[in-house]
Amino acid sequence: MRTTVTLDPDVEALLKRAVRQRGVSFKAVLNQAIRDGLSGGPPRRARAFTLKTYSMGFRPEVALDKALSTAAALEDEELARKLSLRK
């Protein structure tokens, strides 16, 4: 199919660079770019996420894996303290 498109200058520069790098025609580069863009592009491998951890130099006084239950217990204690002050 033949059609006319107007390319932005930066897109034209990217396509011309790909033509030089790949050694194929402008038409082939443009068609492949459109295919990749409309199909989600070529599959990419994601890098594995790693998280650096550091010692804080102390042992926690509460179980950090049970933070919600600890917070609930502290809230209950505070409510009981406030209620006892009202009598």
Residue 30 inside a domain? The answer is yes
Residue 2 inside a domain? The answer is no
Q: How far is CA 69 from the centre of its chain?
A: 30
Residue 28 inside a domain? The answer is yes
Residue 21 inside a domain? The answer is yes
Tell me how far apart the alpha carbons of residues 17 and 28 are, in angstroms, rounded to a whole number.
13
Residue 73 neighbours by CB distance under 10 Å? 12
Separation in Å, CA 56 to CA 18, 44, 51, 61, 66: 50, 37, 15, 13, 19
Q: Six-digit token pair at 54?
A: 């550091």
Residue 29 neighbours by CB distance under 10 Å? 19
Range of the domain at 22: 9-38
Residue 82 inside a domain? The answer is no
User: pLDDT tens, position by position, for the chain (87 residues)?
Assistant: 888 989 999 999 999 999 999 999 999 999 999 988 888 766 677 888 999 998 888 887 777 788 898 899 999 999 999 999 986
Residue 63 inside a domain? The answer is no
Domain count, the chain: 1
pTM, to two decimals: 0.45
